[in-house]
Structure 1
Amino acid sequence: MEGQCYPHEYQSILRGSDSPAIHANIPLEKLYDQLCAGVFLNNRTVKYSVEKESQKNCFMMYARGFSIACSDDPSCWKWVTEKDAPSDGVLVEMAELLKVRWLDVRGKFDLSNLSPATTYEAVFVIKLKSSGYGWEVPVNFGVTLPDGTKKEHKVNLKEKPKDQWIEIKAGEVSTSEYKEGQMEVFMYEHSDHWKSGLVLKGVLIRPKNYINK
């Protein structure tokens, strides 16, 4: 590893690693390639990685770690297991919407794990199935910051590509302004009509000018 810019709080974060071979006390030089590739935490509900160019922390929060209204009702949602990426054999759980009126998905993230003095964006990763329906009404996406500030906007999902993973930005947070506390990310649509055919992979939290694609 070049330079002495160590990823923020990486040792503390790695204590939640799912892999017994990855320990917080291993020298960073031996861990760095793995950190850039990503390390699963908390029973594969989170993936921690380091952006190679900037050495800033990134996170993927998977669907199983979210609060999803009616997700325990098999007539409303089903849990599916798929590869995290085509080139990655690791399986993660994703939530597929079967049929609901009340769409409400929320997740919380501890900002103290993000790199300092950085603007981050929170991005929902979803797939809209061509067989889906009920997306005539725009869906609300947003974030609630630690001081209660809420930022949200509407997105017309009916116009988005089908049967492929797409990214929908929820919002941004600056760790110069918010150094700790929890940020909530959310997606909701509460109108009284049925909706179906959305698959939730999770939410990416990454530096706004993300380089390590």
Structure 2
Amino acid sequence: MEQIHGGDSNSGGGSSRNDEIVATRASRFDTLPEDCISKVISHTSPRDACVVASVSKTVKSAAQSDLVWEMFLPSEYSSLVVARSANLLSKKEIFLSLANDSVLIEDGKKSFWLEKASGKKCFMLSAMELSIIWGDAPAYWQWITVPESKFEKVAELRNVCWFEIQGKISCGMLSKGTHYSVYVVYKTAYGRSYGFDSVPVEAGVGFVGKEATKKSVFLESGMDSRSGFGYSGISHAAVSRAFRMRRPWLRVPREEEEEEVEGERERGRNVEGPKERVDGWSEVELGRFFIDNGGCDEIEISLMETQNGNWKSGLIIQGIEIRPV
């Protein structure tokens, strides 16, 4: 194996020597048969295949071959691009089609796409695919159409005090050896959203049959005008409960009150809050999991707020998204 010798950093000799070595190795790689080069590249990733294509014309041809890009496609890709494949001339174009735009599957209740850099599978479970408590009762939830959604229908929360959403996805649908993050994707109805601004919601993610990993998240941010507190991912639900339960003749000492508020602030600083997406929706990370090469049946996801008993309204749920970390 060649040794890399460092040069004088002041003269730039080290950089020049390294460039020469890279060029030498590239030229040697270039002398291999094209199908051999393709075989090597197919064991990397889509990102690597695009980078190595700049080495030479021979390597570029090998890196763009169907042999390489078919390895980056899921085995079921042909059924996913039936409607699109007529004008696609190569496996790379099929890959890019699935990476640049999601495909609706399972009667339009899920969407599927590939992460462009790694080729890992990504999914969104539509609101129609989720189990929403009271979701079939028009007084509590209504199903509406919004043009910016991937799906035909989204769920709009009208008014509930018991907020609970659950979803599942088969482990077999996901990429092996991959760390995934789970997000709820939603909007708030302008001027009609309330009940979530100072209340943490419990999220759970885990394998069916095993204890889920749970965390608290906030679905709204901003100013809680009723309490006068500024809110930036800080929970003060316990303070609100204390205020609601206080008797007119019972005065909590100011020092204790301040300690309680500060305690809630400290506990809430690391609570996950909403982030705006480029597509105009908001998302909050609910949890993470790892798909190994062993056996697992399903991933179970939950989102609920059932403890405070306050009424909530105005969320528009598009679905739950599962994508590589």
**TM-score range normalised by the length of the shorter chain:** 0.7 to 0.9
Contact between 2:201 and 2:305, CA under 8 Å: does it hold in 1? yes
Question: How far, CA to CA, are the matches of 1:108 and 1:28 in structure 2?
Answer: 34
Give the 3 Å change call, closer, same or farther, for CA 134–50 of structure 1 in structure 2: same
User: Among residues 299, 306, 313, which one is paired with 1:183 in the alignment?
Assistant: 299
Q: Secondary structure of the residue that 1:167 maps to in structure 2?
A: strand
Amino acid at match of 1:113: M
Q: What is the match of residue 194 of structure 2? A: 133
Question: How far, CA to CA, are the matches of 1:195 and 1:140 in structure 2?
Answer: 15
Alignment pair present for 1:34 and 2:97: yes
Alignment pair present for 1:48 and 2:48: no
Identity %: 28
Contact between 2:185 and 2:283, CA under 8 Å: does it hold in 1? yes
Structure richer in helix, relative to its length = 2
Q: What is the match of residue 174 of structure 1? A: 290
Deviations for 1:79-124, whole angstroms, at most 9, x for unmatched residues?
A: 1112345xxxx65311000000111100100111111111011111
> May I ask how many residue pairs the two structures share in their alignment?
198
Contact between 2:213 and 2:287, CA under 8 Å: does it hold in 1? yes
Contact between 2:194 and 2:312, CA under 8 Å: does it hold in 1? yes
Contact between 2:275 and 2:283, CA under 8 Å: does it hold in 1? no
Q: What is the match of residue 150 of structure 1? A: 212
Answer with 153-162 or 123-132: which moved more: 153-162
Q: TM-score, normalised by structure 1?
A: 0.81
Contact between 1:8 and 1:114, CA under 8 Å: does it hold in 2? no
Give the 3 Å change call, closer, same or farther, for CA 83–179 of structure 1 in structure 2: farther
Query: Over alpha carbons, which structure has the higher Rg?
Result: 2
Answer with 62-71 or 76-85: which moved more: 76-85
RMSD (CA atoms): 2.7
Amino acid at match of 1:197: G
Question: How far, CA to CA, are the matches of 2:164 and 2:292 in structure 1?
Answer: 30
Q: What is the match of residue 69 of structure 1? A: 133
Contact between 1:8 and 1:113, CA under 8 Å: does it hold in 2? no
Q: Secondary structure of the residue that 1:92 maps to in structure 2?
A: coil
Deviations for 1:28-73, whole angstroms, at most 9, x for unmatched residues?
A: 7163233222211012111110112211111111101000000111
Gaps in structure 2 of 5+ consecutive residues:
1-63, 223-273
Q: What is the match of residue 211 of structure 1? A: none
1:83-122 to structure 2, matched below 5 A, reads 83-84=147-148, 91-122=151-182
